Amino acid sequence: MKQLKVIKIGGKLIEDEGKLADFLNDFAKLKGPKILVHGGGNMATEIAGKLGYETKMVDGRRITDENSMAVITMVYGGLINKNIVAKLQNRNVNAIGLCGADGKAIVSKKRPVKEIDFGFVGDIENINSEFILNLLEQGITPVFSAISYSETGELFNTNADSVASEIAVAMSKEMETELLYCFEKKGVLADIDNETSIIEKIDAEEYQSLLEQKVISDGMLPKLHNCFQAIEKGVQTVRLGDMHLLRPESKHTKILSS
């Protein structure tokens, strides 16, 4: 069974040209099929401000109104996505930039309104693994922006961690799949202010203990939730770390199934 790596790169790394270059150098050296997933919320917020659009956030989550969705489509699907694809081509990686609407790759439904109306935000319902597998078999590396679509033709802002996780789960039925979250921290930290306090292995029991001790910060909670969901649904390995995560010698956090 072929091995596949699904890698999500965080927005803070995308914004730093030096760190992005280091990451893409390592990504280009990976052998075998691979998929890259990105968001870019900070850049979308910055450009929205330049256009005179206010960005509304509730509990750290974006309210995606019509103007926000237009900016996200331009920034995620255009500016960031195509820049990454161009840089990968320069490193001899034959990449293709995609959003969820391309090839019906990521189908979602609009998040239902409960206490908060998040607007044009999608919750993933289906991944077109056959389409993705076809690209990989041709030696093409998909680069997905965090935009999904509905079968009624709407585009939706979609959490990039969830996009990576759902793609990894779907592809795990076709290939031996590893999911990697590459962001600004070296991994899950026992002390948020100490970059060397990496928790190198976390299983479900340890995860519950860390939650009870409130060691895990709010921003890490949904990421780890995605990690354990992926493991439970068939993804072989999940790892979290900084821009050097793809290097064999890197220290990082590995999620264990039990």
pLDDT, one tens digit per residue, over 118-137 is 999 999 999 999 999 999 99
Burial class for 14, CB neighbours closer than 10 Å (0-12, 13-18, 19+): buried
Report the pLDDT averaged over residues 106-121: 93
Does the structure show a pLDDT above 80 at 66? yes
Choose between 99 and 42: higher pLDDT.
99
Does the structure show a pLDDT above 70 at 85? yes
Burial class for 250, CB neighbours closer than 10 Å (0-12, 13-18, 19+): middle
Does the structure show a pLDDT above 90 at 114? no
List CB contacts of 58: < 8 A, sequence separation 6 or more. Answer: 116, 118
pLDDT of residue 215: 79
**Does residue 226 have a known ligand-binding role?**
no
Ordered by where they begin, the domains of the chain are 3-255 (3.40.1160.10)
User: What does pLDDT average to over the chain?
Assistant: 93
On whether the CB atoms of residues 181 and 36 are closer than 8 A, the answer is no
Six-digit token string for 140: 């093409």
**Does residue 62 have a known ligand-binding role?**
yes
pLDDT of residue 54: 87
pLDDT digits (tens, 9 = 90+) for 49-58: 999 998 888 8
Residue identified by tokens 């991994």 is 187
**For residue 93, what is the DSSP state?**
-
Q: In this structure, which amino acid lies at residue 88?
A: L
**Does residue 111 have a known ligand-binding role?**
no
Give the C-alpha separation, 64 to 142, whole Å.
Answer: 25
Distances (CA, A) of 25 to 2, 30, 144, 243: 23, 9, 18, 10
E strand or H helix at 206, and its extent?
A: helix 204-212
**With bands split at pLDDT 50, 70 and 90, how would you rate the model's confidence at 258?**
low
**Does residue 247 have a known ligand-binding role?**
no
Q: What is the CA radius of gyration of the chain?
A: 17
Give the C-alpha separation, 83 to 72, whole Å.
Answer: 15
Helix (H, G, I), strand (E, B) or coil at 45: helix
**With bands split at pLDDT 50, 70 and 90, how would you rate the model's confidence at 182?**
very high
Give the C-alpha separation, 185 to 235, whole Å.
Answer: 23
Q: From its phi and psi, is residue 187 left (phi > 0), alpha (psi between -120 and 50) or beta?
A: left
